[in-house]
Amino acid sequence: MSRAAVATIHLGALRRNLARVRERVGAAKVMAVVKADGYGHGLERVARALGDADAFGVAALGDGLRLRAAGIAKRIVVLSGPDEAGDLAEFRRLDLDAVIHHESQLRWLETDRDPRALHAWLKIDTGMHRLGFAPDVARAVHARLLALTNVDPDIVLMTHFAASDEFEAPATLAQIGAFDAAVRDVPGARSLSNSAGLLGWPQALNTESGQNWIRVGGLLYGLSAIDGKTGADLGFEPAMTLSTKLIAVNRVRRGARVGYAGAYECPEDMDIGVAAIGYGDGYPRSAPSGTPVLVGSQRAAIAGRVSMDLITLDLRNVPTANIGDRVVLWGGELPVETIAAQAGTISYDLTCGMTKRVLFVEDDA
């Protein structure tokens, strides 16, 4: 093995997290969002592990192609829909659902002569102001879709929350109200909630229109969608453990400076460990001195700047550390949310950031 950096993907945790989601949503269907290569966990392996989901949500047509090529027969929803008119034939060939969110996509469908029925989701912009039709045209757009013989009449109505992780803010209630008003008496299943919406907004499950689909991403991977909380705090298990090994332990004198720009000054004579991981593997360069790691079962901390291939560690709390000892960067007893907070980012960013140098292994427990 040329590199010691390993991402262990816990397939059992994925399955148990999906089961926990189902306990919360009752009869609603669950779309497992597996975009961004399964939030960095591996698209195909995640889809296989989450085979009990009712559908998979992906960001792009290419992800749908990958899943079909891997033998995934489950319903697949491309959350940004077709990017050009020529995509429609591929959507139909692969039997992919398309989210329709823009007038250009609607015109492509209206001029398309392919008689095969496309499965469509109509996205309404209730406040995110990113993708979707304005609420005041939602009925007209739905009618245009329903009039097309090349669109399946079972059209799902959806929106996306902009601030559902802010449980005290009024924005989400306003979005729920705008959605209900826009689609009142319009036939079709509804889909409002993401992970944070599931946790904090039961109103979205009991809207005037009713909700039939939940779109869940981060929680399936044990990642928190709530600032200041870990996935474990919310009752979910981390699905990734990132680890490496110590490749050197050096005694360094008090006052000596460690790493690029001498960013860390040793406060006393101490052992500095060197672990085989860096930003070339996807570990965040922005992680400062003091960011925790686990050496064996003991906490140590980064000392100095993260390099492309290596990190240096303050081992004063691990006096028995030796070359070859396992170093955990996140997972289990060291939540990825803790590292993300230190690095000034979110957990999703870290798990999605693993590079091809990292060896991925599966743990089925």
- Domains and their CATH numbers in the chain: 11-224 (3.20.20.10), 240-363 (2.40.37.10)
Distance, in Å, from the CA atom of 180 to the CA atom of 99, rounded to the nearest integer, reads 19
Helix count and strand count (H, E) for the chain: 11, 18
pLDDT at 209 over 70: no
What pLDDT digit, counting tens, does each position of 134-148 carry? 999 999 999 999 999
- Token pair for residue 320? 């028995």
239: pLDDT confidence band, cut at 50, 70 and 90?
very high
Checking phi first, is residue 37 left (phi over 0); if not, alpha (psi -120 to 50) or beta?
Answer: left
User: Do 18 and 220 contact (CB within 8 A), yes or no?
Assistant: yes
Residues annotated as catalytic are 35, 260
Q: SS3 breakdown of the chain: % helix, strand, coil, rounded to 5?
A: 30, 25, 45
- Residue 169's pLDDT is 85
- Residue 325's pLDDT is 97
What pLDDT digit, counting tens, does each position of 169-207 carry? 899 999 999 999 999 999 999 999 999 988 888 877 766
- Residue 207's pLDDT is 65
- Residue 37's pLDDT is 98
168: pLDDT confidence band, cut at 50, 70 and 90?
confident
- Across residues 91-107, what is the average pLDDT? 98
Instruction: Tell me what percent of the residues of the chain surpass a pLDDT of 90.
Output: 90
- Residue 250's pLDDT is 98
In terms of pLDDT, which residue wins out, 209 or 254? 254
- Token pair for residue 203? 């109103």
Average pLDDT across the chain, whole number: 95
pLDDT at 74 over 80: yes
- Across residues 121-130, what is the average pLDDT? 97
pLDDT at 297 over 70: yes
